[in-house]
């Protein structure tokens, strides 16, 4: 059966058409002969129950009580994890969940509840649980009391189909917000489609709009007006996708999230201004949280959205930093500053790494002063520490939640070194040599002091190896990392119970074993230490082993207290990729994508349990999948600064073929494809830096294995094919 629903044409010739074919509702959009197919949903999806093996047969409580990552170990027992297996074991998190709709220009958006389909406005101030502005039961009580199945157009565009059904009837709601709607409470455009499963061609349509700020109740809207808004919205977001990186990989859900999450980030932001997330996390107090900008700048640069990255960085310099380079960001009852040295250092690292994309040649003197100011804020917090032989260290908070806990944290010191060195290099590369000295010298002092003190305070453990402390003067062997029963040393039941009643995050905690300090270390401080790539491998490996043993991970994701809290995991992903722990890298990517939110709706939460949402959505969690997916194809190492291609690609993909186009890196963009034992790579500009292709299909590659394209190869090392410099395109066949 095939029939049309509508066809509408824009003045510039693009046509949007909706139709039903072979049991699937879908649209096409584009100029004649160049239409893109955009699937809405299949009628079968309304009744299909996915084949799952949740938790691999385990009880969720058993998994969270365990110190070891039971699921992670089982998913890795045969080597690299399989995406389809992870997807069966870890389903999308829906209980207590929602998705959101907004425009690129909208100051805020609306939430659509996953269990009822009700549409809610953004919470504000004390209005933490606003009433819905639209409920499906307003239209049909009989059918719409059922839990809806929800889909995004093309699996990624912010045009939702929330579909209620029973054995015979279907009531489908289409929801969207126009991209250019600037309101805090934008208009939600709603189309209702009613049909029966037996006769879908006998459908009826009606149209309405609703917004808390302008209309008390939903009201009908003319069809022509609705269609104009719909076609403009489809046009905007399909063209947005075309501006960024594109993947063709075997795992289509991963492919959709890697690209679709960039759209969701755009609908979370207000143009170039960050918001952390929605609901409580949509409140403006969270807007200037530094990771909002750090994650988004990295994602935009590696996913090819360089024009947007440049605008975001300009907005950061203009509006988010004061004239001294300090974030306008305070947290807690005392309204203390909340940005850490690690965050300032990471931002300076990105400013240097992506200076071309971020437009360094156009920065004004005032902007340079703010960039230098970030470095001086780090230096201002470098003080002699009497308890450590008066050696100068960064003494600063390491997390906004714990900004009253000011100590010599290793992650802060590592990233201060990274940031100050990056700033010195950035200044030198832009003709500001006279200003680099103070930053380079302090970086050297900090590096010497922190490495000496780590060596002095590292604990040699028979089981785990050389354990470095995450905070100088604090135990290098924490009791554990979450609310679980496993401990690194024997303790009484009474002691364990007292320990598990964690201390308030803005108190000073316990002096020996403090669960709050340890769990923050697990989800942030240790990953940031590892991602700085400044530890000896023996020290890094000891941290990994200890986290694996004492409640640090759940299916490869990070744990926090009694939850899964994976939003700050990106530095750990960097470490896993750099150290070539590819099995764990893939497990983390797959688990996060499948379970830390709802991939079908592009909504990723800050915190979850194995069964439900704990904390609202947030941008860093959302952007983990795009960044890690891009890094699989093109990653630049921290110390050698080598462009490493295909470093994280699953071995199983090599026989199937894959490609990525428009990926960003420090020198521009690149396209890469692997098919039939042949890899083709093309750069936007001649290659000036060291670059390699990691041919993970083999453990070793020699020049004798290069059947075609030897003229592009400098040498082979292990399974690495080192490319010659100055080439712009290479075609290499490996046998």
pLDDT at residue 217 greater than cutoff 80 = no
- The reported pLDDT for the residue numbered 127 is 65
pLDDT at residue 309 greater than cutoff 80 = yes
pLDDT tens figures, 389-436 = 999 999 999 999 999 999 999 999 999 999 999 999 999 999 998 889
Percent of the chain with pLDDT over 90: 92
pLDDT at residue 507 greater than cutoff 70 = yes
pLDDT at residue 594 greater than cutoff 90 = yes
- How is residue 344 annotated by DSSP? H
- The reported pLDDT for the residue numbered 463 is 94
pLDDT at residue 197 greater than cutoff 80 = yes
What DSSP letter does each residue of 23-69 carry, written as one string? TEEEEEEESTT-PEEEEEEEGGGGT------GGGG--HHHHHH-SS-
The mean per-residue pLDDT over the stretch 176-190 comes to 94
CA distance 71 to 391: 44
Beta strand 658-665 with 668-675 is antiparallel
- The reported pLDDT for the residue numbered 149 is 97
Asked whether the beta carbons of 427 and 352 are under 8 A apart, the reply is: no
pLDDT tens figures, 233-289 = 999 999 999 999 999 999 999 999 999 999 999 999 999 999 999 999 999 999 999
Three-point CA angle 663, 669, 675, nearest 5°? 60
CA distance 237 to 233: 6
Give this prediction's pTM.
0.97
**Left (φ > 0), alpha (ψ -120 to 50) or beta: where does 117 sit?**
left
- The reported pLDDT for the residue numbered 11 is 86
- The reported pLDDT for the residue numbered 220 is 83
pLDDT at residue 215 greater than cutoff 70 = no
CA distance 190 to 653: 41
pLDDT tens figures, 446-467 = 999 999 999 999 999 999 999 9
Radius of gyration of the chain (CA): 26
State residue 54 phi and psi, 5-degree precision. -55, 130
Token code pair at residue 711: 């003229």
Q: What are the helix and strand counts (H, E) for the chain? A: 19, 36
pLDDT at residue 126 greater than cutoff 70 = no
- Of 78, 55, 79, nearest to 66 by C-alpha is 55
- Of 616, 564, 633, nearest to 592 by C-alpha is 564
pLDDT tens figures, 341-353 = 999 999 999 999 9
The mean per-residue pLDDT over the stretch 592-614 comes to 97
CA 217 from chain centre, in angstroms, equals 36
The mean per-residue pLDDT over the stretch 278-301 comes to 96
- The reported pLDDT for the residue numbered 506 is 86
Percent of the chain with pLDDT over 70: 99
Asked whether the beta carbons of 507 and 514 are under 8 A apart, the reply is: no
The SS3 assignment for 74 reads: helix
Mean pLDDT of the chain: 96
C-alpha dist (Å) from residue 391 to 332, 442, 453, 506: 30, 12, 9, 27
Half-sphere exposure of 183 (CA within 13 A, CB side): 17
- How is residue 516 annotated by DSSP? H
Q: With bands split at pLDDT 50, 70 and 90, how would you rate the model's confidence at 51? A: confident
């Amino acid at each position: 059966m095939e029939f049309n629903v509508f066809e509408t044409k824009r003045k510039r010739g693009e046509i949007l058409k909706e139709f039903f074919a072979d049991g699937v509702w879908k649209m096409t959009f584009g100029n004649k002969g160049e239409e893109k197919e955009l699937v809405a949903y299949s009628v079968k999806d309304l009744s299909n129950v996915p084949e799952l093996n949740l938790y691999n047969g385990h009880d969720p409580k058993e998994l969270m009580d365990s110190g070891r990552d039971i699921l992670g170990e089982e998913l890795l027992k045969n080597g690299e994890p399989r995406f389809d297996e992870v997807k069966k074991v870890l389903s999308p998190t829906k209980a207590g969940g929602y998705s959101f709709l907004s425009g690129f220009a909208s100051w805020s958006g609306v939430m659509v509840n996953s269990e009822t389909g009700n549409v809610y406005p953004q919470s504000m101030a004390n209005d933490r649980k606003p009433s819905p502005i639209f409920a499906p039961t307003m239209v049909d009580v009989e059918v719409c009391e059922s839990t809806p199945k929800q889909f995004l157009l093309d699996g990624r565009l912010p045009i939702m189909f929330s579909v209620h059904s029973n054995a015979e009837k279907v009531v489908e709601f289409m929801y969207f917000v126009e991209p250019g709607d600037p309101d805090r409470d934008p208009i939600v455009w709603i189309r209702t489609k009613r049909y029966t499963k037996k006769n879908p061609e006998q459908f009826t349509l009606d149209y309405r709009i609703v917004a808390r700020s302008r209309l008390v109740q939903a009201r009908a809207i003319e069809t022509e007006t609705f269609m104009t808004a719909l076609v403009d919205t489809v046009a905007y977001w399909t063209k947005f996708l075309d501006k960024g990186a594109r993947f063709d990989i075997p795992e289509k859900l991963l492919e959709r999230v890697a690209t679709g999450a960039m759209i969701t980030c755009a609908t979370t932001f207000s143009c170039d201004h960050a918001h952390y997330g929605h609901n409580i996390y949509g409140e403006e107090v969270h807007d200037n949280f530094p990771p909002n900008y750090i994650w988004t700048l990295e994602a935009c640069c590696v996913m090819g959205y360089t024009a947007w990255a440049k605008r975001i960085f300009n907005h950061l310099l203009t509006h988010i930093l004061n004239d001294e380079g300090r974030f306008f960001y305070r947290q807690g009852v005392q309204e203390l500053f909340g940005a850490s040295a690690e965050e300032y250092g990471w931002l300076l690292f990105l400013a240097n790494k992506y200076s071309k994309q971020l437009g360094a040649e156009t920065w004004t003197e005032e902007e340079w002063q703010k960039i230098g100011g970030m470095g001086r804020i780090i230096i201002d917090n470098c003080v002699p520490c009497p308890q450590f032989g008066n050696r100068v260290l960064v003494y600063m908070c390491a997390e906004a939640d714990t900004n009253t806990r000011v100590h010599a944290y290793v992650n802060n010191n590592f990233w201060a070194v990274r940031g100050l060195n990056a700033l010195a290099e950035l200044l030198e590369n832009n003709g500001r040599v006279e200003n680099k000295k103070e930053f380079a010298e302090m970086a050297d002092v900090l590096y010497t002091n922190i490495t000496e003190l780590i060596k002095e305070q590292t604990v040699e453990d028979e089981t785990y190896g050389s354990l470095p402390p995450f905070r100088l003067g604090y135990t290098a062997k924490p009791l554990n990392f979450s609310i679980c029963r496993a401990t690194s040393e024997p303790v009484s039941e009474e002691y364990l119970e007292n320990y598990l009643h964690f201390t308030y995050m803005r108190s000073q905690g316990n002096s020996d074993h403090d669960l709050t300090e340890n769990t923050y270390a697990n989800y942030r401080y240790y990953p940031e230490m590892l991602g700085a790539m400044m530890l000896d491998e023996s020290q890094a490996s000891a941290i990994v082993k200890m986290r694996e043993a004492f409640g640090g991970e759940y299916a490869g994701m990070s744990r926090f207290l009694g939850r899964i809290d994976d939003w700050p995991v990106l530095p750990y992903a960097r470490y896993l990729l750099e150290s070539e722990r590819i099995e764990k890298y893939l497990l983390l990517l797959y688990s996060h994508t499948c379970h830390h939110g709802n991939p079908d709706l592009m909504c990723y939460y800050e915190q979850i349990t194995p069964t439900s949402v704990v904390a609202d959505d947030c941008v860093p969690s959302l952007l983990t999948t795009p960044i890690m997916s891009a890094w699989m194809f093109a990653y630049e190492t921290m110390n050698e600064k080598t462009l490493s291609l295909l470093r994280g690609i699953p071995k199983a993909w090599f026989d199937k073929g894959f490609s990525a186009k428009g990926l960003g890196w420090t020198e521009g963009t690149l396209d890469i494809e692997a098919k039939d034992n042949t890899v083709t790579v093309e750069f936007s500009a001649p290659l000036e830096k060291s670059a390699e292709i990691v041919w993970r299909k083999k453990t070793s590659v020699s020049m004798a294995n290069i059947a075609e394209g030897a003229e592009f190869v400098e040498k082979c090392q292990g399974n690495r094919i080192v490319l010659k410099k100055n080439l712009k395109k290479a075609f290499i066949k490996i046998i």
